[in-house]
Amino acid sequence: MVSRHAGDSNATVELTAARQQRRARIIAVAIDSAAHGYDAVHIRVVAERAGVAASTVYQYFSSKDHLLVACLDEMVAAWELSVRAETRRISDPYRRLLHVADTVTRGLLSAPLLASAVTRAYLSADSAASAHANSVRHRLSQMMTAALAGTCATDQHAEIGDLIADLCVANMLALVQGRATAVEARHRLERTIAVLSRHRVEELPHCS
């Protein structure tokens, strides 16, 4: 009896891992498709390229927009990983914040059609996609907070992280909608972070 339960447990773990792999494969294919624009993403084609049935895609994502918001969440997660080691080498918190913000901007500008596709979906995210939309904003906030404070973040650090994350989202929308250039978006971030650095960052507690 015990061994049957142990086997059942292993089977559950394997099933979960298999589902995670399928989900990751679907997102990877969707990101590749979205690099050609929003209209290039079709659930049936994504499913075929990912080696699953269209119904399987819908088990994970209720709509094309839901899938694309999940893609954006995955992109932000990748940026978050890429800046961790880099920010440790930058001593000034203002420079760390700006570096992280630049990483996000460069990530968007490196694939304009992809950025436009995932941002369009983010703007129209419904309740089914809300968890991923919230995760995008939360990840951005965590990136900024960690850049500012490392592992000893306080509520004050988190407030600044939230502010810069919201500015990054606003810049993201402005960039893909053609309301701002990359230079303008960076200047906006630079000015905001500089003001925070002068008036608030110096007053924040530091790690001992």
Assess contact for 71 and 30: CB atoms under 8 A: yes
Q: What ranges do the domains of the chain cover?
A: 5-200
DSSP letters, 1-42, are -HHHHHHHHHHHHHHHHHHHHHHHHHHHHHHHHHTT-GGG--
The model scores a pTM over 0.85? no
State mean pLDDT over 17-27.
93
**Average model confidence (pLDDT) across the chain:** 86
Assess contact for 47 and 57: CB atoms under 8 A: yes
Residue 85: helix, strand or coil by DSSP? Answer: helix
Q: What is the pLDDT of residue 204?
A: 55
123: tokens are 């703007």
State mean pLDDT over 142-166.
87
pLDDT band at 200 (very low <50, low <70, confident <90, very high): low
State mean pLDDT over 5-11.
46
User: With pLDDT > 90 as the criterion, what percentage of the chain qualifies?
Assistant: 47
pLDDT band at 203 (very low <50, low <70, confident <90, very high): low
Q: What is the pLDDT of residue 15?
A: 55
Question: Which residues lie below 8 Å from residue 151, measured CB to CB, with a gap of 6+?
Answer: 207
Report whether pLDDT(12) > 70: no
**Over the stretch 181-195, which tens digit does the pLDDT of each residue have?**
888 988 898 899 888
**Over the stretch 34-77, which tens digit does the pLDDT of each residue have?**
999 999 999 999 999 999 999 999 999 999 999 999 999 999 99
pLDDT band at 207 (very low <50, low <70, confident <90, very high): low
Rounded to whole angstroms, the Cα distance separating 68 from 66 reads 6
173: tokens are 């929308």
Q: What is the pLDDT of residue 46?
A: 98
Rounded to whole angstroms, the Cα distance separating 3 from 147 reads 48
Q: What is the pLDDT of residue 206?
A: 54
Q: What is the pLDDT of residue 13?
A: 46
Please give the DSSP secondary-structure letter assigned to residue 179. Answer: S
Residue 67 vs residues 73, 117, 135, 156: alpha-carbon distances, Å: 10, 11, 14, 34
**Over the stretch 110-152, which tens digit does the pLDDT of each residue have?**
899 999 999 999 988 888 888 999 999 999 999 999 888 876 7
Rounded to whole angstroms, the Cα distance separating 91 from 89 reads 6
Q: What is the helix (H) or strand (E) element at residue 197, kind and residue range?
A: helix 182-199
Report whether pLDDT(31) > 60: yes
Q: Selecting from 1.10.569.10, 2.40.30.20, 3.10.290.10, 1.10.357.10, what CATH number does the domain 5-200 have? A: 1.10.357.10
